[in-house]
Amino acid sequence: MVGVVLGDELESVPLEIPSTSTSARCVASAIALSSSTANFIGYLAGALVSIATPAVVRSAAALRCSLVVLVLTLALMPVTHDGAAWFGLRLTAGAASALV
């Protein structure tokens, strides 16, 4: 119940929050957080690989391969709704984007 002031009187008005809407928002937030975390971890891993092997970053073949992998992983994201698959795709995309 929510109290609403109308003139001089306080009236109680029922406030209904659909549970499906709230749970759907929580799931969406968890997927977004997981997706962002995977991307950050992948980017960190790719950056560490590029620091350890600078020749890879300067290679034209590695650049082309990273771009292809990045485009493919991002193109595959709408195909699935599985959280684990998205985590893997975002992890791979993050690593590939660090090498671009």
- What local confidence, expressed as pLDDT, does residue 6 receive? 53
Per residue in 15-58, pLDDT tens? 555 555 566 566 656 666 678 889 999 999 999 999 999 988 88
The answer to whether 56 and 47 have CB atoms below 8 angstroms apart is no
In this structure, what are the phi and psi dihedrals at residue 72, rounded to the nearest 5 degrees? -65, -45
Please tell me what DSSP assigns to residue 17.
Answer: -
- What local confidence, expressed as pLDDT, does residue 82 receive? 87
